[in-house]
Amino acid sequence: MQMTFRWYGDGNDSITLKQIRQIPGVKGVVWALHDVPVGEVWPFERIEEVVKQANKYGLNSDVVESVNIHEDIKLGLPTRDQYIATYKETLKNLSRFGVKVVCYNFMPVFDWFRTDLFKEMEDGSTALYFDATKVHSLSPEQVVKNMKENAKDFSLPGWEPERLKDLQRLFGLYKDITEMNLLENLTYFLKEICPIAEECGIKMAIHPDDPPFPIFGLPRIVKNKEDIQRLLSAVDSPSNGLTFCSGSLGVNPSNDLIDIVNSFSDRIPFAHIRNIKHFEDGSFIESSHRVEDGSLPITSIVNALYKNGFSGYARPDHGRHIWDEVCRPGYGLYDRALGAMYLLGAWDTNVLLRDNLLAKKPLHTV
């Protein structure tokens, strides 16, 4: 497992590469050109710039999150082919700089969303929160407004202004799109993309829907084990992979996260590992990564990855906002660094147990 850390880029992140490099065990940054409009080719020089910046701090830039998918592709419109062609060009450009994994999602209109971005917790920290009751009273426009107002002037991944400018029209276009249609459109995309990705040595890693259920009548197709099975077998290529995201899949208590890791381990090039705490009404809060603080079996997930020989990339996912840090919602330095250490602690315990059992040698002595 290679530990990584999401970084929004120079001038777009309050967190520096110097800081990231000082988190023990972090080997690379997960990055994107957030300002390139969806559907445009990522320019070679811009990619080179980020890669060089990361390398200067001894960090790799092997994982990109996300190259977003144009709505015309998700909708299966005749114009999709031109956007698929630009996507291929972007993959080629990324591969020239050794990018190995491209995370993306196929959620219509919205990416992830929460009702509160700075919900106060008992210990005085704040965290992302999803209020299952409140969400029913919100219209899509209110959700967008809410996210924007809540974000405290930080840009949010997946909430790029250009994506949201034409909400009514988009909702109209999705009116007759069923889950099956959306899956067909994903399959069409993957059939085109995977051969190029294979040539480029890139693994495509789809991110589950967050939350993993339909919202505002929009179809969702990456919600559970059956969906994952369906999409992975729709295009049987090593480049058709999954971003295992515990916090997204884990919103649904009937998703068995360990079983999902065990079932698809050879198709998981990238893992987002974080905890959430469920409430009885279906609401959830993004707690610290520690098992005791939330509802998800985080250490067992790490153990399952280990046992399956996971050699891909992982990152701590959203963190709480602690120690008065002023930061992008979910993406501060401190709690994510704690998360990385927790995950590495769980991983290293496995390594230590294996090494001691196999070699029967004592632990280091000073």
**Pick the catalytic residue: 104, 129, 174, 207?**
207
By CB under 6 A, tell whether 111 contacts ligand DNO. yes
By CB under 6 A, tell whether 105 contacts ligand DNO. yes
| DSSP structure string for 111-164 | -S--SEEEEE-TTS-EEEEE-TTGGGG--HHHHHHHHHHHTTT---TT--HHHH
- For the CA atoms of 124, 257, 136, 132, the dihedral, rounded to the nearest 10 degrees, stands at -30
3-state DSSP of 10-52: CCCCCCCHHHHHCCCCEEEEEECCCCCCCCCCCCHHHHHHHHH
Output 130 or 306, the one with its CB closest to ligand DNO.
Answer: 130
From residue 185 to residue 224, the character string flagging contacts with ligand DNO as x (rule: CB under 6 A) and all else as - is ----------------------x-----------------
From residue 292 to residue 321, the character string flagging contacts with ligand DNO as x (rule: CB under 6 A) and all else as - is --------------------------x---
- For the CA atoms of 286, 33, 212, 134, the dihedral, rounded to the nearest 10 degrees, stands at 60
317 classed as catalytic? yes
Q: Which of 25, 158, 195, 214 binds ligand DNO (CB under 6 A)?
A: 158
Shortest distance in whole angstroms from residue 246 CB to ligand DNO? 11
By CB under 6 A, tell whether 103 contacts ligand DNO. yes
- Phi-psi category of 9—alpha, beta or left, where left has phi over 0 and alpha has psi -120 to 50? left
Beta carbons of 183 and 190 less than 8 angstroms apart: no
Shortest distance in whole angstroms from residue 107 CB to ligand DNO? 7
C-alpha of 33 from chain center: 15
Residue with structure tokens 């990705």?
Answer: 197
Q: Please give the backbone phi and psi of residue 343, each rounded to the nearest 5 degrees, phi first.
A: -65, -40
Pairwise CA distance, residues 327 & 80, whole Å: 36
* Residue 185 Cα distances to 7, 80, 102, 334, angstroms: 30, 10, 19, 39
Q: Which of 62, 65, 116, 131 binds ligand DNO (CB under 6 A)?
A: 65
Shortest distance in whole angstroms from residue 210 CB to ligand DNO? 6
Pairwise CA distance, residues 45 & 284, whole Å: 41
By CB under 6 A, tell whether 157 contacts ligand DNO. yes
Q: Which of 108, 269, 312, 330 binds ligand DNO (CB under 6 A)?
A: 330
By CB under 6 A, tell whether 112 contacts ligand DNO. yes
- Which string of b and e fits 204-240 if b means at least 16 CB within 10 Å? bbbbbbbbbeebeebbbbbbbbebbebbbeebebebb
Beta carbons of 235 and 190 less than 8 angstroms apart: yes
Output 61 or 66, the one with its CB closest to ligand DNO.
Answer: 66
**Size of residue set near ligand DNO by CB under 6 A:** 12
Shortest distance in whole angstroms from residue 219 CB to ligand DNO? 16
Shortest distance in whole angstroms from residue 241 CB to ligand DNO? 13
Output 223 or 303, the one with its CB closest to ligand DNO.
Answer: 223
Residue span binding ligand DNO (CB under 6 A) among the ranges 7-15, 18-26, 99-107, 290-298: 99-107
Shortest distance in whole angstroms from residue 365 CB to ligand DNO? 43
Shortest distance in whole angstroms from residue 106 CB to ligand DNO? 9
**Pick the catalytic residue: 62, 104, 227, 272?**
272
Q: Which residues are catalytic?
A: 207, 245, 272, 317-318, 331
Which positions lie near ligand DNO, rule CB under 6 A?
65-66, 103-105, 111-112, 157-158, 207, 318, 330
